[in-house]
Structure 1
Amino acid sequence: MSKAPNAADKEVGKRIRLYRREKKFTQPQLAHHVGITSQQLQKYESGVNRIAVGKLVEIAVALKVEMVAFFDRIPTVEPSNDNQLENPQFDFTHEALLMSTAFMSITQPMLRRRILELVQAVAAKEVEMDDFLAEIKRQPAE
């Protein structure tokens, strides 16, 4: 798998620059706020270096923009290897992003913990239900 930036990485960098300028931040100001050098921020914005998701979240928080702003209508990029998701039931690029962005906006720790427990319980029950239905299908009809 290639670690070189692709078209999507470059587009995210352009959007960082766009929102930084819109919010009237200089590169040194934003870089200092998120704990990186101005040079590193310049590399992200120009698409020379890929940006880690955690650092992108910090930038979004500093610029007060939703994470989806960096990805909305981003160009489709072909996978850089032949590995395919075995069961792509979840749209990682949109639904997961929306879910995590909404979750991160919840400020009360207890509420966040309860929502996490709810989602985990629903996921566990779904696995149990899938197992139950599979077992029914395996049993011969009477």
Structure 2
Amino acid sequence: MTHPVDVHVGKRVRHRRWLIGMTQQQLAEQVGIKFQQIQKYETGANRISASRLWDIADALDVPVSFFFEGLDDAHKSTPEKPNVPADLMGDKEALDLVRSYYAIPENQRRRLFELARVLSDVA
């Protein structure tokens, strides 16, 4: 059974790797392991040792603490935001949505934003 902390840390590894455009293979090569191990880390199936996390942080150019950010809030939900993931920017779908949003011309983007705001008030 996976531990919630291992899952959270794995998601943060995947999030950072994805943000900088690095593949699992590239990260694995920099750390000196097989890409399948990176897959297991990212899903939380395998726990990352402290020394390996240090190497991964170095390869991804972040402090080790980056992987634990948002951990305290990861399992809390607030009444005003019940369906919003605690680690919103760790969610690939949310990041894809943000990138797509900023690819829209500004005047259309503002109208889309207002539409989204109205729809969320109705829900």
Give the TM-score normalised by structure 2: 0.56
- Among 3, 21, 28, the alignment partner of 1:6 is 3
- Report whether the alignment pairs 1:37 with 2:34: yes
Distance 1:33 1:16 in 2: 14
| Number of aligned residue pairs | 74
Runs of 4+, deviation exceeding 4 Å: none
Please give the per-residue CA displacement for 1:57-104, whole angstroms capped at 9, x wherever unaligned.
000001101111101231489xxxxxxxxxxxxxxxxxxxxxxxxxxx
- Say which of 6, 30, 52 aligns to 1:55: 52
Partner of 1:74: 71
2:25 aligned partner: 28
3-state SS, counterpart of residue 17 of structure 2:
helix
Q: Give 2:54's aligned amino acid.
A: V
Give the match's secondary structure for 1:11.
helix
Identity %: 45
Distance 1:41 1:34 in 2: 10
Q: Which ranges of structure 1 fall in alignment gaps of 5 or more residues?
A: 78-142
Residue 17, structure 1, aligned to residue 22, structure 2: no
Alignment RMSD (CA, Å): 1.6
2:34 partner amino acid: T
TM-score using structure 1 length: 0.49
Which residue of 2 is the match for residue 65 of structure 1?
Answer: 62
Q: Which runs of 5+ in 2 are unaligned?
A: 76-123
In structure 1, the residue matched to 2:43 is: 46
